[in-house]
């Protein structure tokens, strides 16, 4: 089978799955829908592997296959076609996406078991995977935007999955609005590209760009900045990051898939794919890198104090994506993408474990209430520990290799880029701290009520409430189902978590500096035109020094957490009281929500109020009613001629006759 | 001689006309119109339209006016009140009538009719005789003749329909 | 007497008739004034016919008389019907066209 066929099949299976589940809604049983969805993604993964094998068969310089289904060039007036590009980068992304998605689908089969909206969930989830694959496989910017928009919709649909929950629908809208801002940036970038170069196809753009633009010319910088707007909105980087924390209102598998492993990495993919443009606009690349650095540090500090388990992991995602953005912006393309892959593994694993724990806690998400699950849920706690180790970059885990590769590159590039290395290592310490904050809280210590219940073999139950506001709900459609599923009792959840744990632990082995460089050599043909990749080579010694520093940072962080939580419990409370202002600043997420509120939301609402209250009422209504009143007034004037008296009408007739006669007399004389 | 006849007829016609519009009692107005019609018949005679004059007297002043007299007697003479509901009608109407007359006079007395020649053609003998009119009616103007009789039929049917007694209208007490 | 005299007389009678229609309120009298106007038209017709030596005018005048008779019949029928239904015989009372 040709590679392009594999490529199209990768797209076709999830779409077919989504449509099938949606159309056969009434006929399918819930479980059948779940397995169909999972099967569709598994088949897509198989086709991605097929595409990979096909690519590997070819020599390294011939691994770019574009395939077009339909060319819209004449019809729509914009130069684009329905075409995909199968090259190492897109196949890599497709593998990551389909692989992790398949496991998450498997997890959801059990986790979402008693939810009344089960089939809708899987239809949307399949649709999401289709959109994400469309995004990564697209061969031109316009189709990328189509996939981008679809992904935004899927995210909205899944965040608001429990649609009767007010907080969930608000979060969905927030996510969608902020994503649309990113979409606007992307669309403008595409418009500029069409205006300047006349093409949107990747191959054509990257060929024409170096000739059309000189370095740092304002057009190409503008294009790249607009692409960055799109990237930071989708990947939840500052300042367009506020939606990600609220997006945790969605079910845990959604958080795992969309808001950890795949959708939020779309921005990283975009920057990596557009690297020729960013090479021409170093200013923009630097802007992106600094945004990544800022977000990295900001999110890490917030994750230190937030108490909702899923939100800690969400801010952790934000922080790690900051690393990836830094990576692809400073030229460490394969390193950034390697971190994307490992992050997908361990973050999805962390979310899955969190889902299991929250289920055990009867839907309570506050980690201050969680304690000592190590005897009640050994498997889940093991998975949690593995994920936390990978996240913290513990030596030997996948996160260790990927994170340190980026930072070593930054150090090697030298000059200004040292700041990224330094910032990255500080971030690593914070990351290690908060990951083990979770572990020491949840796994160790005196078991809490729910844990004791579970040790006794009974899963805790509670009145269904909204975890954020505490208002009482029911378990009908639109709200979470009545049952909670933990990994120890459901084999799909166990299998999925086990595979991811394996990947999180051993995934780093494909890129041990100086020993293996599977990913780097696979992606090399894509990035070979980059001048940075040509000039900056991280020597093995530097890499190992970097890894040593990184390992040290992670151990520091773990040690600090160990001390504060295990050795001297209660010291965190004392720290909080001493640094009350700082704590509140961090707890309120650096007041970014309030800032965006004041900067964007309030002025828009004020404009809206002005428009509807004053402008609409006075100007528009005035014109409309004024026109009506004017005509009515004219009518009232004319109405006096309609007195109803027949003699008056006769008078008018005779007067008209006299007038006519007068006219003819005058005309004749 | 002809001038005397003309002026007699003219005065009679004018007097009758003014009386029609001026007299308060409708019955008197009807009678005034009869006088007017007779005067006009005289004028027709002067215009060599003997048959038409005879028809005027027999049909118009005779039959039609008798109809008017019947209805005026049946309906009764209701004295019209002096006050006019339409403001300005009493002033504007004569004015406009006068304007109309002046315009027509200007048209008649103006140069347009000079070409006519005041005295007119030489009239052949038997110009307005019944024979001439009859011949015209039945030869050249047959269709108008038949159409006129159809019109009379329709009018007669209409009169019957209007005069038919209907059951007493139910008083619904609504707006009129 | 020249044709002109007849025509002027006819115009005068027509104007008087028009004025009468506009001024009077009883439908009966208004019909009478309409008769005035029709007859003045007849006079004008016959004057022209005499002038041109064409007897078609007389036929025309006959037909006008026929039409006048029909109109009188229907008009009087209306008046009688109105009287029978106790509708006041005053054209100013018929004001349904008031807008």
Q: Is the pLDDT of residue A516 over 90?
A: no
- Taking CA atoms, what residue in A is nearest to C98? A644
Alpha-carbon distance of A126 to A43, in angstroms, equals 12
Q: Which of A71-75, A641-645, B46-50, C95-99 has the lowest mean pLDDT?
A: A71-75
Strand stretches in A172-223, DSSP E = none
Across the range A36-40, mean pLDDT stands at 93
CA proximity to A114, closest of A598, A477, A493: A477
Alpha-carbon distance of A122 to A30, in angstroms, equals 9
- Taking CA atoms, what residue in B is nearest to C49? B47
Alpha-carbon distance of A169 to A191, in angstroms, equals 32
How far is Cα of residue A542 from the mean position of the Cα atoms in its chain?
33
How far is Cα of residue A161 from the mean position of the Cα atoms in its chain?
16
CB-based burial label for A82 (10 Å; 0-12, 13-18, 19+):
middle
Confidence of residue A15 (pLDDT cuts 50, 70, 90): very high
Question: Cβ of A654 and B97 within 8 Å?
Answer: yes
pLDDT score at B176: 47
Q: What's the CA dihedral at A201, A207, A210, A212 to 10 degrees?
A: -60
Q: Whose structure tokens read 């020599």?
A: A59
Number of domains in chain C: 1
Contact (CB, 8 A) for A260 and A317:
yes
Confidence of residue A220 (pLDDT cuts 50, 70, 90): confident
- Taking CA atoms, what residue in A is nearest to C25? A647
Across the range A387-404, mean pLDDT stands at 89
Alpha-carbon distance of A96 to C31, in angstroms, equals 102
C94 interfacial to chain B (CB closer than 8 Å): no
A169 to chain C nearest CA, in Å? 57
Question: Cβ of A655 and B96 within 8 Å?
Answer: yes
Mutate to test the interface with C, among B3, B12, B20, B21 (most CBs of C within 10 A): B21
Contact (CB, 8 A) for C89 and C26:
yes
Neighbours of chain C (3+ CB pairs under 8 A): A, B
Contact (CB, 8 A) for A246 and A170:
yes
CA proximity to C43, closest of C69, C12, C75: C12
Which residue among B86, B103, B110 sits closest to A661, beta carbon to beta carbon?
A: B103
C92 interfacial to chain B (CB closer than 8 Å): yes
- Render pLDDT for A156-191 as a digit per residue (tens, 0 to 9): 999 999 888 888 999 999 999 999 999 999 999 999
Alpha-carbon distance of A405 to A334, in angstroms, equals 9
On chain B, the residues whose CB falls within 8 A of the CB of C75 are none
| Neighbouring C-alpha atoms within 13 Å toward the C-beta of C21 | 23
Alpha-carbon distance of A179 to A230, in angstroms, equals 8
Q: For A641, which DSSP code?
A: T
CA proximity to A434, closest of A594, A288, A264, A296: A296
Q: Whose structure tokens read 């103006």?
A: B110
CA proximity to C10, closest of C33, C49, C29, C37: C37
SS (H, E, C) A483-513: CCCCHHHCHHHHHHHHHHHHHHHHHHHHHCC
Alpha-carbon distance of A203 to A108, in angstroms, equals 38
Q: Whose structure tokens read 């599923």?
A: A485
Contact residues for B101 (Cβ-Cβ < 8 A; gap 6+): C11, C12, C14, C15
Question: Cβ of C24 and B80 within 8 Å?
Answer: yes
- Render pLDDT for B69-122 as a digit per residue (tens, 0 to 9): 999 998 876 666 666 667 778 888 889 999 999 988 888 887 656 655 666 677
Secondary structure percentages of chain B, helix, strand, coil, to 5 = 70, 0, 30
Q: Is the Cα torsion angle A217, A223, A227, A233 positive or negative in sign?
A: positive
Alpha-carbon distance of C92 to A401, in angstroms, equals 106
Secondary structure percentages of chain C, helix, strand, coil, to 5 = 80, 0, 20
Taking residue A640's Cβ as centre, other Cβ atoms within 10 Å add up to: 8
Cα dist. B82→A648, B16, B17, B90 in Å? 17, 22, 20, 10
Chain C contacts in chain B segment 75-104 (CB below 8 A): 75, 78, 80, 85-86, 89-90, 92-94, 96-98, 100-101, 104
Tokens of residue B153, six digits: 């039929």
Contact (CB, 8 A) for A486 and A459:
yes
* CATH number assigned to the domain comprising residue C26: 1.10.287.3510
Helix (H, G, I), strand (E, B) or coil at C65: helix
Q: What is the pTM of this model?
A: 0.71
Percent of all residues in chain A with a pLDDT value above 90, rounded to a whole number: 37
Higher pLDDT, A657 or A446: A657
Helices and strands in chain B: count of H runs, count of E runs: 7, 0
Alpha-carbon distance of A395 to A124, in angstroms, equals 38
- Render pLDDT for C12-50 as a digit per residue (tens, 0 to 9): 999 999 999 998 888 999 999 999 999 999 999 999 888
Q: Is the pLDDT of residue C4 over 90?
A: no
Cα dist. A523→A62, A333, A661 in Å? 13, 9, 98
Question: Cβ of A658 and B100 within 8 Å?
Answer: yes
Cα dist. C83→A178, A644, B75, B107, C95 in Å? 83, 21, 7, 43, 17
CA proximity to B128, closest of B45, B28, B24: B45
Q: Which domain holds residue C82?
A: 3-87
Alpha-carbon distance of A27 to A206, in angstroms, equals 49
A652 interfacial to chain B (CB closer than 8 Å): no
On chain B, the residues whose CB falls within 8 A of the CB of A669 are 110
- Render pLDDT for A520-545 as a digit per residue (tens, 0 to 9): 878 888 887 788 777 777 778 888 88
Contact residues for C32 (Cβ-Cβ < 8 A; gap 6+): B20, B26, B29, B30, B33, B68, C20
Which residue among C22, C98, C99 sits closest to A647, beta carbon to beta carbon?
A: C22
A623 to chain C nearest CA, in Å? 27
For residues A458-470, b (16+ Cβ closer than 10 Å) or e, as one string? ebbeeebebbbee
Alpha-carbon distance of A370 to A352, in angstroms, equals 16
On chain B, the residues whose CB falls within 8 A of the CB of C77 are 158-159, 162-163
Alpha-carbon distance of A247 to A241, in angstroms, equals 11
pLDDT score at A318: 92
Helices C56-84/B142-163 angle, 10° precision = 10
Across the range A410-438, mean pLDDT stands at 89
Which residue among C50, C65, C74 sits closest to B158, beta carbon to beta carbon?
A: C74
Contact residues for B15 (Cβ-Cβ < 8 A; gap 6+): B32, B35, B36, B39
Q: Which helix (H) or strand (E) holds A83?
A: strand A81-86
Q: Whose structure tokens read 């590209």?
A: A193
Contact (CB, 8 A) for A227 and A186:
yes
Alpha-carbon distance of C76 to C82, in angstroms, equals 10
- Render pLDDT for A547-605 as a digit per residue (tens, 0 to 9): 888 888 889 888 888 888 888 777 878 888 888 888 888 888 888 888 888 888 888 89
Cα dist. C51→B2, B108, B134 in Å? 16, 14, 21
* Residue C99 domain flag: no
Chain B contacts in chain C segment 10-39 (CB below 8 A): 11-20, 22-26, 28-29, 31-33, 35-36, 39
CA proximity to B136, closest of C54, C52, C59, C46: C59
Alpha-carbon distance of A140 to A59, in angstroms, equals 24
Range B1-79: architecture per CATH: Up-down Bundle (1.20)
Write down the mean pLDDT value for chain A.
Answer: 87
Contact residues for A268 (Cβ-Cβ < 8 A; gap 6+): A231, A235, A321, A324, A325, A327, A328, A336, A337, A340
Query: What ipTM goes with this model?
Result: 0.91
On chain A, the residues whose CB falls within 8 A of the CB of B86 are 643, 645, 647-648, 651
Contact (CB, 8 A) for A110 and A496:
no
Cα dist. B154→B111, B157, B162, C32, C82 in Å? 43, 5, 12, 21, 20
* Residue C94 domain flag: no
On chain B, the residues whose CB falls within 8 A of the CB of C17 are 17, 21
pLDDT score at A369: 83
Ranges of each domain in chain B? 1-79, 129-166
- Render pLDDT for B5-25 as a digit per residue (tens, 0 to 9): 999 999 999 999 999 998 888
Q: What's the CA dihedral at B29, B35, B39, B41 to 10 degrees?
A: 100
Tokens of residue A438, six digits: 């979770």
Alpha-carbon distance of A541 to A514, in angstroms, equals 9
């Amino acid at each position: 089978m040709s590679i392009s066929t594999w490529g199209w099949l990768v797209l076709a299976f999830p779409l077919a799955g989504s449509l099938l589940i949606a159309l056969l809604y009434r006929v399918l049983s819930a479980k059948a829908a779940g397995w169909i969805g999972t099967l569709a993604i598994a088949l897509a993964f198989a086709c991605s592997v097929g595409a990979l094998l096909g690519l590997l068969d070819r020599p390294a310089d011939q691994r770019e296959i574009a395939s077009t289904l339909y060319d819209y060039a004449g019809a729509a007036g914009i130069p684009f076609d329905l075409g995909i590009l199968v090259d190492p980068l897109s196949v890599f992304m497709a593998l990551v996406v389909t692989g992790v998605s398949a496991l998450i689908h498997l997890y959801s089969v059990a986790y979402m078991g008693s939810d009344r909206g089960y089939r809708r969930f899987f239809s949307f989830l399949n649709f999401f995977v289709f959109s994400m694959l469309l995004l990564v496989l697209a061969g031109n910017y316009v189709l990328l935007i189509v996939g981008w928009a679809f992904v935004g919709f899927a995210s909205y649909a899944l965040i608001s999955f429990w649609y009767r929950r007010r907080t969930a629908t608000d979060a969905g809208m927030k996510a969608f609005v902020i994503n649309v801002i990113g979409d606007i940036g992307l669309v403008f970038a595409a418009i500029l590209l069409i205006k300047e170069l006349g093409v949107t196809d990747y191959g054509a753009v990257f060929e024409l760009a170096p000739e059309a633009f000189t370095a740092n010319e304002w057009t190409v910088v503008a294009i790249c900045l607009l692409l960055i707007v799109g990237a930071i909105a989708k990947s939840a980087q500052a300042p367009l990051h506020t939606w990600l924390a609220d997006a945790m209102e969605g079910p845990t598998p959604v958080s795992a898939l969309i808001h950890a492993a795949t959708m939020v990495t779309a921005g990283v993919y975009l920057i990596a794919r557009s690297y020729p443009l960013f090479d021409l606009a170093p200013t923009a690349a630097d802007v992106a890198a600094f945004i990544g650095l800022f977000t990295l540090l900001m999110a890490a500090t917030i994750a230190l104090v937030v108490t909702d388990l899923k939100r800690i992991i969400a801010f952790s995602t934000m922080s790690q994506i900051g690393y990836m953005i830094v990576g692809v912006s400073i030229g460490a393309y394969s390193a950034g993408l390697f971190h994307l892959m490992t992050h997908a593994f361990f973050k999805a694993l962390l979310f899955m474990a969190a889902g299991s724990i929250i289920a055990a806690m009867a839907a309570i998400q506050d980690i201050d209430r969680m304690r000592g699950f190590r005897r009640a849920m050994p498997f889940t706690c093991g998975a949690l520990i593995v994920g936390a180790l990978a996240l913290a970059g513990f030596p030997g885990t996948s996160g260790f290799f990927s994170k340190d590769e980026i930072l070593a590159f930054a150090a090697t590039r030298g000059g200004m880029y040292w700041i990224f290395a330094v910032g990255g290592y500080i971030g690593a310490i914070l990351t290690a701290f908060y990951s083990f904050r979770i572990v020491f809280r949840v796994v160790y210590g005196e078991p809490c009520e729910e844990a004791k219940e579970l040790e006794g073999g009974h899963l805790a139950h509670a009145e269904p409430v909204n975890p954020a506001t505490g208002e009482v709900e029911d378990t009908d459609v639109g709200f979470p189902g009545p049952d909670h599923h933990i990994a120890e009792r459901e084999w799909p959840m166990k299998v999925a978590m086990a595979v991811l744990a394996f990947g999180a632990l051993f995934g780093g082995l494909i890129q041990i500096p100086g020993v293996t460089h599977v990913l780097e050599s696979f992606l090399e043909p894509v990035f070979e035109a980059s001048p940075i990749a040509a000039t900056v080579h991280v020597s093995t010694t530097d890499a190992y020094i970097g890894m040593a520093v990184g390992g040290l940072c992670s151990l520091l962080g773990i040690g600090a957490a160990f001390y504060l939580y295990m050795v001297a419990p209660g010291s965190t409370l004392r720290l909080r009281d001493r640094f009350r202002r700082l704590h509140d600043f961090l707890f309120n997420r650096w007041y970014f929500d309030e800032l965006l509120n004041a900067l964007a939301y309030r002025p828009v609402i004020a404009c809206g109020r002005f428009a509807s209250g004053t402008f609409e009422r006075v100007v528009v209504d005035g014109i409309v009613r004024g026109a009506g009143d004017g005509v009515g007034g004219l009518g009232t004037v004319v109405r006096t001629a309609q007195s109803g008296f027949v003699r008056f009408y006769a008078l008018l007739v005779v007067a008209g006759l006299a007038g006519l006669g007068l006219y003819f007399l005058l005309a004749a004389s | 001689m002809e001038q005397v006849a003309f002026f007699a007829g003219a005065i009679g016609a004018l007097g009758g006309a003014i009386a029609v519009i001026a007299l308060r009692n409708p019955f008197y107005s009807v009678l005034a119109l009869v006088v007017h019609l007779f005067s006009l018949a005289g004028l027709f005679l002067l215009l060599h339209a003997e048959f038409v004059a005879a028809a005027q007297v027999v049909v118009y002043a005779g039959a039609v006016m008798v109809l008017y007299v019947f209805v005026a007697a049946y309906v009764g003479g209701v004295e019209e009140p002096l006050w006019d509901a339409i403001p300005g009608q009493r002033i504007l109407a004569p004015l406009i009538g006068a304007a109309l007359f002046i315009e027509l006079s200007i048209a008649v007395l103006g140069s347009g009719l000079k070409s006519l020649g005041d005295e007119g053609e030489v009239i052949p003998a038997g110009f307005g005789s019944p024979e001439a009119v009859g011949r015209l009616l039945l030869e050249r103007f047959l269709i108008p003749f038949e159409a006129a009789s159809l019109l009379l039929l329709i009018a007669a049917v209409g009169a019957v329909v209007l005069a038919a007694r209907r059951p007493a209208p139910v008083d619904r007490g609504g707006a009129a | 007497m020249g044709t002109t005299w007849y025509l002027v007389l006819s115009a005068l009678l027509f104007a008087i008739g028009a004025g009468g229609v506009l001024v009077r309120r009883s439908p009966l009298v208004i019909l009478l004034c309409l008769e005035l106007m029709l007859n003045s038209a007849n006079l004008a017709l016959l004057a022209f016919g005499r002038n041109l030596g064409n007897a078609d005018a007389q036929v025309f005048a006959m037909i006008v008389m026929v039409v006048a008779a029909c109109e009188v019949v229907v008009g009087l029928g209306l008046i009688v019907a109105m009287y029978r239904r106790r509708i006041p015989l005053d054209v100013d009372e018929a004001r349904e066209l008031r807008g």
